[in-house]
Amino acid sequence: MQKIILVFLFAAFGTALTAQSPIGVWKTIDDDTGEAKSHVQVYEDNGHLYGKVVRLLKSSPDRKCDKCPGERKNQPVMNMVVLEKMKQKGGEWQSGRILDPEKGKWYTCSFWLKEGDPNVLVVRGYWGPFYRTQYWYRT
């Protein structure tokens, strides 16, 4: 009986910790249509957070990034790292960058879990003083 209780407590505690972290898979939404667009897996590597596309919902899984710069040009969007080198500062992750594969442009980025709802990630891309905010939803 004690083992069952311990397993239950560990599972509940582990779920609570995961819910307070941006690590996991997030559903992105198309700004123009409001439809689900992709799934991005946020993961940690060497103390930074990164995000890669793990599922395309609106386009072919073979889609290439024809507008992307540098080594990403004409590479598959699937498994592409589109979120780089995010560092935590307080309750926010910042100092990294995010790629918009549709436009082929990198933007300075910050993101945080929405207050009161750890299953919503507020993602903000900056270009100078201008910014665009998206809401990603935990899957």
Chain-centroid distance, C-alpha 137: 9
Q: How far apart are CA 6 and CA 79, in angstroms?
A: 37
Q: How far apart are CA 119 and CA 95, in angstroms?
A: 22
For the stretch 25-65, pLDDT in tens is 999 999 889 999 999 999 999 999 999 999 999 899 999 99
Chain-centroid distance, C-alpha 99: 11
pLDDT over 90, % of the chain? 82
Fold of 2-138: Lipocalin (2.40.128)
**Strand segments (E) across the chain:** 24-29, 36-45, 48-56, 81-89, 92-100, 105-114, 117-127, 130-138
Tokens of 71: 């080594």
Domain ranges of the chain: 2-138
pLDDT over 70, % of the chain? 86
